[in-house]
């Protein structure tokens, strides 16, 4: 697939998956609702096509059309190519089973699943009811019902949608099925994280393993990046501590799914010894009853994992070019300086009252005379502050009512290394500010953060004393904005 096509395909897929995932649910871990056995429906009771039949001594829920595949049965009351979805499931399930349990020989008695592709929510609820599952249509839910995987009934219930959406959601739900086969229970952070991560590998490749991928998902990345700037402390203990309902609560706007996706991406793809290569040990731990947070602590270096996870999410913060044009190449942002002006990349968030940190990793360009720094208070007509690292000094320059004024100059130590170092600006809630370069911190008494209001951003510029004005490529990496 060409990269353009792949991009288009991925974009479409993400859209469809996201549309459903944040509202997807599984029912098998809903312990707060009593399980009841299904009553046989009265003839003519239901307007949907779902009905019960006796087959080989068992009650089966049927819809109007059925196709029996190798590993799954597909049943629908819609005009869809049931064979296509059965074939897809028959291709995906063996790959999932092999990845989840590579040591296990293919099991001829492995569970067989039924995929219900329904024309309406009413039909989905009827399939659920006839299968003896507790009802999903009760008042006060914290998120909308969109079907899902039912481990007890070994079924996936989904509302029929366009093909790309259906393929993505089947890959998602079948991942839940394979996870349940391996671990024997649900563990949202792992379960949902993997069900969001693995479809990329399952649908876009036909071989290899997810650990060889570099999965990307714009919606998950954006959600994580935005969350880093929110007041909620993003910690593994918080994520792992969410219960079934809190994880899916619409008020989280998909953050449970997005940050679990990011965590699984790290655990699956990382080559760092404390982080990557432990999935089988983690599955064993979870299968033995380990809680997700404790299993992470036992099988990985939890502190290192948490640090990397936050770094990853910080790298997905939402940035936009304010002055000059910037190119986003993954975690790197590059811009081309031609004239004398500054190029500014802005965190799409206003200067918060509660204090914040803004930072990036600097790569010294081969061209001499390039400065770097921060701009705080980008707002029409407001005060603006520029914090500049240039010519061996740290300068705070304030623009009050259109007048630029140098407030502070701090000489930097001669031995201070800038290249490949994290450079950050920290503003405390009481207005105090400091700049950190590598492990060195410098107070900024000349900047009173209370005086400025507006957006804040990172800046690169040609120093006024630069000897030549040659075209310069400037790169910064992993910019972050944290509250």
CB 149, min distance to Zn ion, A: 7
When the beta carbons of 25 and 388 are compared against Zn ion, the nearer one is 25
CB 195, min distance to Zn ion, A: 4
CA distance 145 to 20: 10
Is 396 among the residues that bind Zn ion (CB under 5 A)? no
Residue of 233, 187, 456 lying closest to 344 (CA atoms): 456
Structure tokens at 203: 């649908």
When the beta carbons of 195 and 460 are compared against Zn ion, the nearer one is 195
CB 1, min distance to Zn ion, A: 26
- For 192, residues 6+ apart whose C-beta sits below 8 A from its C-beta are 247, 256, 257, 260, 261
Q: Which residue stretch of 16-24, 85-93, 211-219, 336-344 sits at the interface with Zn ion (rule: CB under 5 A)?
A: 16-24
Residue of 130, 110, 138, 114 lying closest to 49 (CA atoms): 130
Structure tokens at 350: 């206003």
CB 97, min distance to Zn ion, A: 18
When the beta carbons of 177 and 378 are compared against Zn ion, the nearer one is 177
Cα angle for residues 70, 72, 74 (degrees, 5° grid): 120
When the beta carbons of 29 and 473 are compared against Zn ion, the nearer one is 29
CB 26, min distance to Zn ion, A: 6
Q: What is the x/- site pattern for Zn ion, positions 17-56, by CB under 5 A? A: -------x--------------------------------
When the beta carbons of 49 and 195 are compared against Zn ion, the nearer one is 195
When the beta carbons of 255 and 423 are compared against Zn ion, the nearer one is 255
Query: Contacts with Zn ion: how many residues (CB under 5 A)?
Result: 3
CA distance 170 to 164: 10
When the beta carbons of 286 and 449 are compared against Zn ion, the nearer one is 286
CB 89, min distance to Zn ion, A: 16
When the beta carbons of 219 and 314 are compared against Zn ion, the nearer one is 219
Backbone dihedral angles phi then psi of residue 447, each to the nearest 5 degrees: -115, 120
CB 12, min distance to Zn ion, A: 19
CA distance 89 to 67: 12
CA distance 433 to 294: 37
Where do the DSSP E strands lie in 351-465?
356-363, 370-378, 384-390, 393-400, 403-411, 422-427, 433-437, 440-443, 455-462
CB 196, min distance to Zn ion, A: 7
CB 381, min distance to Zn ion, A: 48
Residue whose tokens read 């911190």 = 441
Structure tokens at 188: 């949202």
When the beta carbons of 107 and 250 are compared against Zn ion, the nearer one is 250
Buried-exposed string 301-328: b where 16+ CB fall within 10 A, e elsewhere: bbeebbebbbebbbbbbbbebbbbebee
Q: What is the x/- site pattern for Zn ion, positions 181-220, by CB under 5 A? A: -----------x--x-------------------------
When the beta carbons of 264 and 275 are compared against Zn ion, the nearer one is 264
Q: What is the x/- site pattern for Zn ion, positions 112-131, by CB under 5 A? A: --------------------
CB 166, min distance to Zn ion, A: 15
Burial (Cβ within 10 Å: 0-12, 13-18, ≥19) of residue 354 = exposed
Helix and strand numbers (H, E) in the chain are: 12, 21
CA distance 373 to 390: 8
Alpha-carbon torsion, ordered 447, 448, 453, 455, to 10 deg: 40
Binding site for Zn ion (CB under 5 A): 24, 192, 195
């Amino acid at each position: 697939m060409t990269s353009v096509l792949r991009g288009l395909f991925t974009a479409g897929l993400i859209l469809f998956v996201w549309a459903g995932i944040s509202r997807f649910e599984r029912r098998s871990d809903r312990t707060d609702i009593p399980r009841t056995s299904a009553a046989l429906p009265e003839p003519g009771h239901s307007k949907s096509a779902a009905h019960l039949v006796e087959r080989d001594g068992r009650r089966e829920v049927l819809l109007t059309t059925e196709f029996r595949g190798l590993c799954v049965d597909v049943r629908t009351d819609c005009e869809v190519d049931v064979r296509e979805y059965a074939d897809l499931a028959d291709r995906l399930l063996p790959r999932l089973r092999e990845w989840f349990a590579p040591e296990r020989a293919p099991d001829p008695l492995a569970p067989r699943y039924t995929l219900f592709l329904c024309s309406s929510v009413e039909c989905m609820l009827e399939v659920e009811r006839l299968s003896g599952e507790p009802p999903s249509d009760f008042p006060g839910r914290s998120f909308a019902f969109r079907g899902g995987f039912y481990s007890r009934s070994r079924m996936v219930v989904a509302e029929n949608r366009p093909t790309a959406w259906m393929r993505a959601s089947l890959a998602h739900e079948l991942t839940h099925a394979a996870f349940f086969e391996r671990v024997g229970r649900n563990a949202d952070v792992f379960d949902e994280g993997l069900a969001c991560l693995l479809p990329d590998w399952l649908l876009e490749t036909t071989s290899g393993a997810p650990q060889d991928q570099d999965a990307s998902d714009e919606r998950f990345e954006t959600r994580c990046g935005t969350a880093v700037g929110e007041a909620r402390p993003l910690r593994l203990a918080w994520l792992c501590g969410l219960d079934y309902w809190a994880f899916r609560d619409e008020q989280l706007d998909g953050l449970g799914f997005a940050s679990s996706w990011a965590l699984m991406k790290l655990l699956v793809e990382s080559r760092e010894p404390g982080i990557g290569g432990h999935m089988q040990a983690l599955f064993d731990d979870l299968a033995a009853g380990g809680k997700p947070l404790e299993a992470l602590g036992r099988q990985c270096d939890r502190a290192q994992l948490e640090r990397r996870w936050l770094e990853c999410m910080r790298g997905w913060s939402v940035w936009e070019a304010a002055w000059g044009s910037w190119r986003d190449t993954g975690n790197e942002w590059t811009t081309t300086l031609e004239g004398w002006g500054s190029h500014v990349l802005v965190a799409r968030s206003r200067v918060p009252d509660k204090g914040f940190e803004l930072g990036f990793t600097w790569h010294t360009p081969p061209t001499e005379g390039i400065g770097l720094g921060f701009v705080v208070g980008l707002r029409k007509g407001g005060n603006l502050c520029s914090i500049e690292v240039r010519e061996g000094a740290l300068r705070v320059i304030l623009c009050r009512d259109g007048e630029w004024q140098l407030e502070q100059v701090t000489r930097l130590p001669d031995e201070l290394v800038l290249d490949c170092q994290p450079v950050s600006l920290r503003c405390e809630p009481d207005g105090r500010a400091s700049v950190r370069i590598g492990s060195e911190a410098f107070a900024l008494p000349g900047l009173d953060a209370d005086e400025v209001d507006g957006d804040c951003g990172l800046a690169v510029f040609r120093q006024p004393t630069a000897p030549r004005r040659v075209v310069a490529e400037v790169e910064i990496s992993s910019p972050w904005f944290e509250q």
